[in-house]
Structure 1
Amino acid sequence: MIENDHIFHLAIPSHDLERAESFYIDGLNAETGRKYDDRLTMDFYGDQIVCHKTSEEEIDDDVTMYPRHFGVTVTDESDFEAILDNARTHDLPFFQEPMIRFEGETDEHRTFFLQDPSNNLLEFKWYNDPSQMY
């Protein structure tokens, strides 16, 4: 296991960087790191997300939650609620409305999925029992 501080990095396709900026920066409170004509680098809840400019033809039209999505698992339910409230306030598109998965099981958790302007799917989760996050 890595002992030092680190930041997870994820690069995703984006056919419209202005709409991506509105979705991530305005809608989900990510912070702009760098912005160029071909990419947008952001601090996304402590990790690095980079939207790389792609053509609209390269964007998947038919997306499903599994196997490809990314997201954030928060350790505090109030953070989950804040992200959910922010998504609703900014009218971000839900791919899957908030729900409880595995209700009554040890890995019960709250979750919802958003769909960004380039059809990338994001999942946000909060576990009743934090030991079940991994």
Structure 2
Amino acid sequence: MRKTDKVFHLAIPCKDLEETAEFYQKLGCKLARKYDDRVTFDFFGDQVVCHLSPNHIDEQPRMYPRHFGITFLNREEYDQALEYAIKEELPFFKKPMVRFEGKREEHLTFFLVDPANNLLEFKYYHDAAMVY
């Protein structure tokens, strides 16, 4: 189980710092730090650092094997995130869908794509025991 005194850290590439900062702040992430070569965010309680790497952008992103995101434990929070993404016209990579329908691991999910083609997944499992 996660301890509240630990923060997960993820570093990803970005092609433009201003565009990246605007996207993640619009998503609701707090800008923590900004330097000439990176921006750091509070990404739903964890740390995401976007390093300026315009030559390392995935031009044709695919959901698998590389993406990151949030798994909500509360359905209402998932629904709010989806409504917010729609309202703010955030760019969807995959519209909302149900995965593994009818199985114990069934979950709701949608994917957003950031300005550097990093894919972000937001999901909610009907059975909380399937989160891990």
TM-score bracket, normalised by the shorter chain, equals over 0.9
Please name the residue that 2:17 is paired with.
17
Distance 1:45 1:3, change over 3 A: closer
Query: Following superposition of structure 1 onto structure 2, how do residues 18-37 of structure 1 map, counting pairs within 5 Å?
Result: 18-26=18-26, 28-37=27-36
Query: Following superposition of structure 1 onto structure 2, how do residues 1-134 of structure 1 map, counting pairs within 5 Å?
Result: 5-26=5-26, 28-55=27-54, 57-134=55-132
1:15-73 Cα distance to aligned partner (Å, 9 max, x none) = 111111111111x1001111111111110000000011112x32110111000000110
Structure 1: runs of 5+ lacking an equivalent: none
Counterpart secondary structure, 2:83:
helix
TM-score, normalization by structure 2: 0.94
Quick one: percent identity of the two aligned structures? 52
The number of residues matched between the two structures is 132
Distance 1:53 1:82, change over 3 A: same
TM-score, normalization by structure 1: 0.93
Q: Which runs of 4+ in 1 moved over 4 A?
A: 1-4
Structure 2: runs of 5+ lacking an equivalent: none
